[in-house]
């Protein structure tokens, strides 16, 4: 391939390699996520008590409606009633959807690798993947906003349905619909009615989630790297330009129960641009390796890793249940479409101007994507000074001095949501930076091998 256009591009034989691949990969659902449902009442393997408990009464405060001490347990006689009241309403009891499908991913790539000169190798790749039927959690008993607003119109002021009112029983006191009872706003609040005779009346179900294979994702990336040696220098540089999108970035990243597509946005781990270069240089302090001078001056190497990246996406939320869903995954703020204005963190403490965002209208979920812009990125330099001294044929002494974030640059990337930018519009610190990665760290080590 030395003649014509292709020859000009790819050079002579042995200079260029072209590789392509694709596959479909199925995966089993992790036992860790399946174990999430074993706490279902009444005989789950574990529970989370809302208040401190005593060792002699470990089950005394399992629910807000105190179920009492359960052990020793006496099996009730046939036909006994009132047994289930103590477990109602059943809430926060995830279950596994029986129609789930096996998760899988479709992966594909195309790579061109070429030798450049005598000491460099350049690689350019396109890498993509599609994730389908990925396991996530979805509320299966969401509140109905229209029902809640109807109740609010029928009840006296201050007594009607509102935020966090999905599990309240309402009785209309007067008017044309006097005496009408609303058992909360969830579709499955009452199924058996066995708890209605309880005082106060109890509904069967509150907020519960499916473990459902409803999530999907896609990833596309241009990946390039070059590796080169020049005398005492060695370089390896890599650059990735990519985008990852999904409607759930993990098992506990809940999906909007009304419309799963509304949750689609940037993945929590998405990094648009990532550039990393590593380098090392053997110091030419002496030519000899023998004698006292040779032992002291030979074997010195300096090396480093430099990284510049885009930050992780900021996750936007609204924690007041203004959607009247009574769930996680439906409440996000409204966004007016104006460009996001980024600020100087060191001067203002803010990463973004919060002006384009506003709280939801009661009963109407916000229109913002929950992740569509990135937080602060990384500008980091790590350096190392290393010396290897061969004391004898079988004995070697290694000295290392390492400095991470050597320039002590403030790094605001790496918080609980992927970065340290507050994303709850109701928080007093919305749009602010709330933390950072550690500053400069140095360490020294001495290793003797024999």
> Can you give the pLDDT at residue 12?
56
pLDDT in tens, 33-58: 777 776 666 555 555 555 666 666 65
Nearest to 377, CA basis, from 425, 418, 423: 418
Q: What whole-number percentage of the chain has pLDDT above 90? A: 54
Between CA 206 and CA 93 the distance in angstroms is: 9
Rounded to 5°, the CA angle 347-348-349 comes to: 105
What average pLDDT is seen over the chain?
Answer: 86
User: Which pair of tokens denotes residue 211?
Assistant: 């473990």
pLDDT in tens, 58-68: 555 554 445 55
For residue 121, list its beta bridge partners.
115, 227
Structure confidence at residue 79 as a pLDDT band (50, 70, 90): confident
Question: What is the rounded average pLDDT of the residues 204-218?
Answer: 92
Report how many helices (DSSP H) and strands (DSSP E) the chain contains, helices first.
Answer: 5, 16
Domain ranges of the chain: 145-183
| Candidate ranges 57-66, 301-310, 435-444; pick with highest mean pLDDT | 301-310
pLDDT in tens, 224-269: 999 998 888 999 999 999 999 999 998 889 999 999 899 999 999 9
- Half-sphere exposure of 128 toward its Cβ, with a 13 Å CA cutoff? 8
Between CA 137 and CA 374 the distance in angstroms is: 24
Between CA 373 and CA 378 the distance in angstroms is: 16
> Can you give the pLDDT at residue 135?
92
Question: What is the rounded average pLDDT of the residues 366-391?
Answer: 91
Q: Give start and end residues of each alpha helix (H) in 61-213.
A: 145-154
Residue 196's region, left for phi above 0, alpha for psi from -120 to 50, else beta, is alpha
SS3 category, 181: strand
> SS3 breakdown of the chain: % helix, strand, coil, rounded to 5?
10, 35, 55
Structure confidence at residue 417 as a pLDDT band (50, 70, 90): very low
pLDDT in tens, 314-373: 999 999 999 999 998 899 999 999 999 998 888 888 899 999 999 999 999 999 999 999
Q: Is residue 165 scored above 50 in pLDDT? A: yes
- The secondary structure of 343-409 as a DSSP string is --HHHHSBSB--TTEEPPBTTB---S-SS-SB---EEEEEEEEEEEEE-SSS-EEEEEEEEESTT--
Instruction: Tell me the pTM.
Output: 0.82
């Amino acid at each position: 391939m030395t003649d014509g256009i292709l020859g000009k591009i790819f050079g002579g034989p042995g200079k260029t390699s072209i590789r392509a691949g694709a596959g479909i990969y199925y995966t089993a659902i992790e036992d860790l996520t399946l174990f999430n449902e074993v706490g279902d009442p009444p005989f789950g393997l574990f529970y989370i008590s809302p208040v401190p408990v005593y060792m002699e009464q470990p089950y005394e405060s399992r629910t807000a409606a105190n179920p009492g001490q359960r052990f020793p347990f006496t099996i009730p006689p046939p036909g006994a009633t009132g047994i289930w009241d103590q477990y109602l309403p059943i809430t926060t009891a995830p279950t596994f959807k029986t129609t789930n499908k096996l998760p899988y991913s479709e992966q594909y790539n195309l790579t061109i690798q070429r030798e450049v000169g005598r000491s460099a190798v350049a690689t350019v790749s396109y890498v993509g993947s599609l994730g389908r039927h990925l396991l996530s959690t979805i509320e299966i008993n969401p509140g109905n906003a229209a029902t809640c607003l109807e109740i609010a119109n029928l009840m006296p002021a201050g007594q009607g349905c509102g935020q966090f009112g999905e599990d309240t029983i309402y009785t209309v006191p007067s008017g044309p619909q006097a005496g009408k009872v609303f058992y909360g706003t969830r579709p499955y609040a009452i199924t058996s009615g066995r708890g209605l005779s309880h005082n106060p009346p109890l509904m069967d179900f509150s907020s519960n989630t499916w473990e459902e294979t409803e999530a999907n994702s896609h990833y596309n990336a241009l990946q390039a790297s070059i590796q080169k040696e020049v005398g005492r220098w060695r370089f390896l540089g890599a650059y990735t330009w990519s985008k990852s999108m999904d409607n759930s970035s993990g098992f506990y990243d809940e999906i909007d129960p009304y419309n799963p597509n509304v949750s689609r946005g940037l993945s929590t781990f998405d990094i648009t641009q990532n550039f990393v270069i590593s380098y090392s240089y053997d110091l030419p302090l002496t030519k000899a390796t023998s004698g006292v001078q040779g032992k002291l001056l030979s074997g010195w190497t300096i090396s480093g890793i430099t990284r510049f990246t885009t930050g992780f996406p900021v996750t936007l939320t609204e924690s007041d249940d203004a959607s009247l869903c009574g769930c996680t995954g439906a409440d996000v703020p409204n966004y007016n479409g104006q460009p996001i204005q980024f600020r100087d963190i060191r001067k203002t403490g803010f990463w973004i101007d919060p002006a384009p965002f506003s709280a939801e209208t009661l009963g109407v979920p916000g229109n913002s994507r929950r992740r569509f812009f990135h937080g602060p990125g990384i500008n980091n330099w790590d350096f190392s000074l290393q010396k290897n001294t061969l004391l004898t044929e079988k004995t070697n002494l290694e000295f290392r001095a390492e400095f991470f974030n050597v320039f002590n640059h403030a790094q605001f990337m790496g918080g609980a949501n992927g970065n340290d930018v507050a994303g709850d519009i109701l928080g007093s610190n919305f749009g602010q930076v709330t933390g950072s990665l550690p500053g400069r760290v140095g360490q020294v080590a001495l290793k003797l091998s024999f």
